Amino acid sequence: MGIMRVAVCDDEVVVYQQIMRLLKGNADKYTIDRYESGEKLVQAAKKYDIIFLDIEMGQLNGLTTAKYIREQGRNDFIIFLTGHVEFMSEAFKVKAFRFLNKPIQSNAFYEALYGAEKEIMSDERILISSDGNKYMVSQSDIVFVESMGDGTCVYTNGSQYITNKTLKYWEESLNPLRFYKVHKSYLVGFEFVRSVFQNKVVLYSNQEILVPLSRRQRTEFKRLYMQYANEHAISY
């Protein structure tokens, strides 16, 4: 699994410190940003995998903050924090993933965290426009994406899709827990990696494919791939 982007939005520093302690055992799996208000979180307009969001904050409460996040077209997994269960019905109107009561209990916290991670790693689908047609493709089927001229080619298990999207677009659109940009022209799916050498990555779907690996990306890619392989029982 790659780095997971987490935000904690709570005006109580003690809550942020508690969440940091709970995540400490797997610190290399997360990048964590803290926001002291809903206004700052909304203004940042930064996409996260998981947001721990306090409901009872100052001018902009958590429910309204979540509403604005959804209006930005974001599907971040929102886990609400509160000491009052009466907010629960309103929380699910903004597609809350979980609801944690304060003070936060560690077992409930980990259940919510791992539940969100499992959903994120599930078989997401993405819309690809190619040659005037539209295709719904499972991200788990994408072997790699290659930059070609002004566009890209998306290679799946058995098909190729020429698109006018940039590699940066796919890097931002595809699940970062599944994909990594190994070279300025290539984005690969961890699931199809079979070997990693000094300057190349060996992919395998229905045939062996060699993709260049830049020196700058080598160390981080190897670390993240080994982490992914260990967590998904891939023989390496």
Tell me which residue has tokens 């208000």: 37
3-state secondary structure 93-116: HHCCCEEEECCCCHHHHHHHHHHH
Per the document, the length of the chain is: 236
What's the confidence (pLDDT) of residue 118? Answer: 81
Residue from 147, 159, 232 nearest 191 by CA: 232
What's the confidence (pLDDT) of residue 123? Answer: 61
pLDDT-flagged residues of the chain (< 70): 1-2, 84-89, 91-92, 123, 206, 230-236
What's the confidence (pLDDT) of residue 117? Answer: 86
What's the confidence (pLDDT) of residue 213? Answer: 97
Pairing status of strand 125-130 against strand 160-163: unpaired
Residue 137 CB contacts under 8 Å (≥ 6 apart), including other chains: 125, 126, 127, 128, 154, 156, 161
What's the confidence (pLDDT) of residue 59? Answer: 84
